[in-house]
């Protein structure tokens, strides 16, 4: 009986070490804190829209920032103006989606400030919903802040292809708005130290030799 317990004990230890040596499963992580999001990236570029003039913006709008290109589209075109001293991009038709399509650079991290404005570009206290790679990961919140941040990163290296920003329905009419869009690369996921798999093999080998010795001894009793 003690012999069987020893076998089980060493088997559990060996299985635990092997499991610990396996890579972590890829995960899309959602952030609501911009600083924490940026700290998790190996590199990034930000589009602050400060080059846009206030007024109508024709859809699609093609944008290029360091390392990336994307386009912004919306039914009924878009508009640019200043909110709290910062230029923002918004839809020109209320209650319609603003879509950002990433066309080059393959970002594995995307984020930005997402909120609603009214016809006069005043920030509304209402629901804003942003979906990354539509159907994959969404974030929704009631906010009246022009610095409402959502960010996503994929540590598997799978790039994001688009974001869809949808305003909540209600009165007054809401216009989906974005500022300081961040495109970047997720920092490599933490890896298990190299010696651990080797340790697992050593333990397994040592256990195997002891097991064979005990079995041989048991046969001669």
Q: Are residues 126 and 201 in the same domain?
A: no
Residue 171 — pLDDT band, cuts 50, 70, 90? confident
Q: Please give the Cα distance from 50 to 37 (Å, whole number).
A: 22
Number of domains within the chain: 2
Identify the helix (H) or strand (E) that includes residue 199: helix 195-219
Report yes or no on 191 lying in a domain. Answer: no
Which residues fall within 8 angstroms of residue 171, CB to CB, at 6 or more apart?
A: none
The pLDDT tens digits for 49-77 are 999 999 999 999 999 999 999 999 999 99
As a whole number, mean pLDDT of residues 81-97 equals 97
Q: Are residues 6 and 32 in the same domain?
A: no
The pLDDT tens digits for 123-157 are 999 999 999 987 668 999 999 999 999 999 998 89
Question: Sign (positive/negative) of CA torsion 181, 69, 105, 91?
Answer: positive
Q: Are residues 66 and 52 in the same domain?
A: yes
Please tell me whether the overall predicted TM-score, pTM, comes out greater than 0.95 for this model.
Answer: no
Query: HSE on the CB side for 165, CA within 13 Å?
Result: 32
Q: Please give the Cα distance from 123 to 83 (Å, whole number).
A: 8
Q: Are residues 202 and 179 in the same domain?
A: no
Structural domain harbouring 7: 2-22+196-219
């Amino acid at each position: 009986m003690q012999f069987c317990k020893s076998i089980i004990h060493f088997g559990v230890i060996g299985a635990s070490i092997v499991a610990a040596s396996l890579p972590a499963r890829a995960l899309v992580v959602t952030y609501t804190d911009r600083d924490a999001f940026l700290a998790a990236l190996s590199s990034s570029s930000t589009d602050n829209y400060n080059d846009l003039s206030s007024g109508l913006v024709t859809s699609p709008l093609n944008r290029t920032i360091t390392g990336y290109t994307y386009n912004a589209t919306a039914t009924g075109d878009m508009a640019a103006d200043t909110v709290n001293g910062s230029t923002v991009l918004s839809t020109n038709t209320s209650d319609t989606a603003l879509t950002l399509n990433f066309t080059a650079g393959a970002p594995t991290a995307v984020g930005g400030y997402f909120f609603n404005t009214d016809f006069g570009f005043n920030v509304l206290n209402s629901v804003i919903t942003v979906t990354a790679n539509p159907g994959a990961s969404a974030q929704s919140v009631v906010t009246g802040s022009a610095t409402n941040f959502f960010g996503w990163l994929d540590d598997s290296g799978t790039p994001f292809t688009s974001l869809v920003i949808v305003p909540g329905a209600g009165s007054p009419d809401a216009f989906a708005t974005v500022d300081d869009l961040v495109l970047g690369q997720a920092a490599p996921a933490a890896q298990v130290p190299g010696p651990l798999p080797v340790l697992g093999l050593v333990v397994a080998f040592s256990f195997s030799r002891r097991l064979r010795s005990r079995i041989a001894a048991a046969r001669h009793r």
